[in-house]
Amino acid sequence: MAGDTSLTNLTACAVVDLLKRGDVSPLDCLDAVEARTATVDGAVNALPILCFERAREHARRLMERPLGERGRLAGLPVPIKDLTDVAGVRTTYGSRIFADFVPNSSDILVGTIEAEGGVIYAKSNTPEFGAGANTFNEVFGATLNPWNTELSAAGSSGGAAVALATGTAWVAQGSDLGGSLRNPASFCGVVGLRPSPGRVASNPGSKIDRLLGVKGPMGRTVEDTALLLDAMTGETPGDPLSLPRTESFLAAARSGWRPARVAFSADLGITPVDPEVASICRKAAERFADMGVIVEEAHPDLSEAHDAFQVLRGMTFAVSYAGLLQDHRDKMKPDVVWNIEQGLNCTMADVVRAENQRAAMFRRMNAFFDTYDLLLCPATIVAAYPVGERYVSECAGHTFSNYVEWLAIAYAITLTAAPALSLPCGFTRDGRPVGLQIVARTRAEGRVLAGARALEEILGLQGTTPIDPRVPDRESRSSGDAIDRTARSNT
C-alpha cells in the first residue's frame, strides 16, 4: 500500500488498527502522508517544515520491534507544532530570531509521543511565539483556511488544524493558552482538546508552575483526539506539574457515558457572540435532549476573566520573553511586544488581584459542576474571518479594546483549569465551520470526551474532513500567490 493516499482519508483509530495488525507499515503511512502533503499543502501552508528522512529512520527502528511492542500509536505519523522542540529538526517558534534554530534535544512531550510509537514527520505553522489567534509569521507566512483560503485558520495551532482538515495529518499536537487548540479546531471543522494542567507533561520553560499554557491533542474525530491524548500523558520528574496516567481516554470516549444535566450559555455572560454562531451552538447543545439529558441555560460567574487574563497572560509573556525583547525588539511583531510590556508594567497589586480573581473563578466553576455534568458554549464567538485581518476587532456591534479580548469565551475557561474541547457542530450559511465548546470539571477529560463523542454521533458530522483546499477564483491566481500576498498584508 506504499504511496496509497486513500489511507489519509481513514481515521487515526482505523489506521492504528491496520498498523497493529501489520496490514500496513509505518513506512506505508509516511508514503501516504508525504504524497498528500505534496498535493495539497502548497495551497494552505500548514506544514512548512518537513523531516521525512528522520521519520523514516525512526519508522525502520520501530519496525524492528514485534507488532505488539510498538506503542499506542504503533507507527502513526504525527506533526509537532513549531513551538515545541524536536531534536535535529528546525524549530523557529514562528520568530525571525530563531529562523535557523535546530535544537539538540526534544521536548519531553515529543519523547513521550515517540515512546508510544508516534513518528514525527513535520512541524506545523504557528504565529510568532504562539501570540495571536491568526496563524501567520515572518518566517513562513500565513496558514490559510481550507474551507476558503481567503479566511483565517485561527491560532495558534492553526497549522495543526489545517493539516487535519486537509488530510496531511491523522492527529496533531498543539498547545493552548487562550484557546489555541480550540479556536483553530472551530474554524477548521476538527476537534481540539485543551487538557487540565499537568495532564500532558512538557518542558516547563521559564515559568515552571504554569497553569495557563498547556499542550494537547487535535484530531478529526473525538476518538482520534482521545487516542493521541493517551499517547501524550504520563508523569515525569522533568515536569513538576505532570500527572500519572490513570485511565485510557480512548476507552472513556467509547464508554457510552452520558451526562444527566448540562448547561448551555451563548456568551458565558462576558462577551458578544455573532448571532448565527450562537444559534448554531444552541441548536447543537439542545441535541443532548435527544438522549434524555436535561439541558438548561446557565453559567458560572466568570466576570473577572478579562482583568485576570490580561494580567496573568502578560506576566507569562514577560517571564518567558523579556530577555528577547531587550535584545531583539526589532525582530518581534507588535503583538508580542505588547504582551511582554503588559507583563512588565504590571504591579504587585495587579498580580495579587488577578491571582485572587482566578482562584475565585476556579471555586465557582468547581461548585457549578456539582449541579451540571458539562458546560456548553461556543468555542469561538465568530466563524472564520478574512486572513488579512490580524484579529477580530468587532463583534455584534461591540468594539474590542485589544487584540485578545475577542478570545474571552476560551480564555475564561483557561483560567478555571477545566478541560475543554471544541467539537464541530455545524456550518454558517456561507459554509464556514462552527465549534461547540464542551467543558467539564478539572481533570475530567474522560467526561468531556464521552459527552463529545455522544453528541458527535447525533450531529452526524464525522467524515466532513479531510477536504481539498477551496481556493476562490482559481483561474485568476495561484495558491502560492495567495499565500505570499496574505503574508505581506499581515506583516
**Cβ contacts of residue 40 below 8 Å, gap of 6+?**
146, 166, 167, 168, 468, 469
Active-site hit among 81, 123, 215, 333 = 81
- What are residue 398's DSSP bridge partners? 395
Active-site hit among 152, 157, 180, 186 = 180
- What are residue 79's DSSP bridge partners? 122
Active-site hit among 25, 106, 124, 156 = 156
Integer Cα distance of 415 and 308 in angstroms? 8
Determine the length of the chain. 491
Catalytic annotation present for 123: no
Amino acid found at 395: C
Identify which of 361, 445, 367 has the alpha carbon closest to the alpha carbon of residue 411: 361
CB 92 within 8 A of CB 82: yes
From residue 110, give the alpha-carbon distance in Å to each of 83, 216, 246, 335: 12, 12, 20, 28
Integer Cα distance of 490 and 409 in angstroms? 25
From residue 420, give the alpha-carbon distance in Å to each of 125, 359, 412: 22, 18, 11
Catalytic annotation present for 180: yes
Integer Cα distance of 156 and 174 in angstroms? 8
From residue 204, give the alpha-carbon distance in Å to each of 57, 105, 116, 132: 29, 14, 21, 21
Catalytic annotation present for 20: no
Task: For the beta carbon of residue 243, count every other beta carbon within 10 angstroms.
Answer: 17
- List, by residue number, the catalytic residues: 81, 156, 180
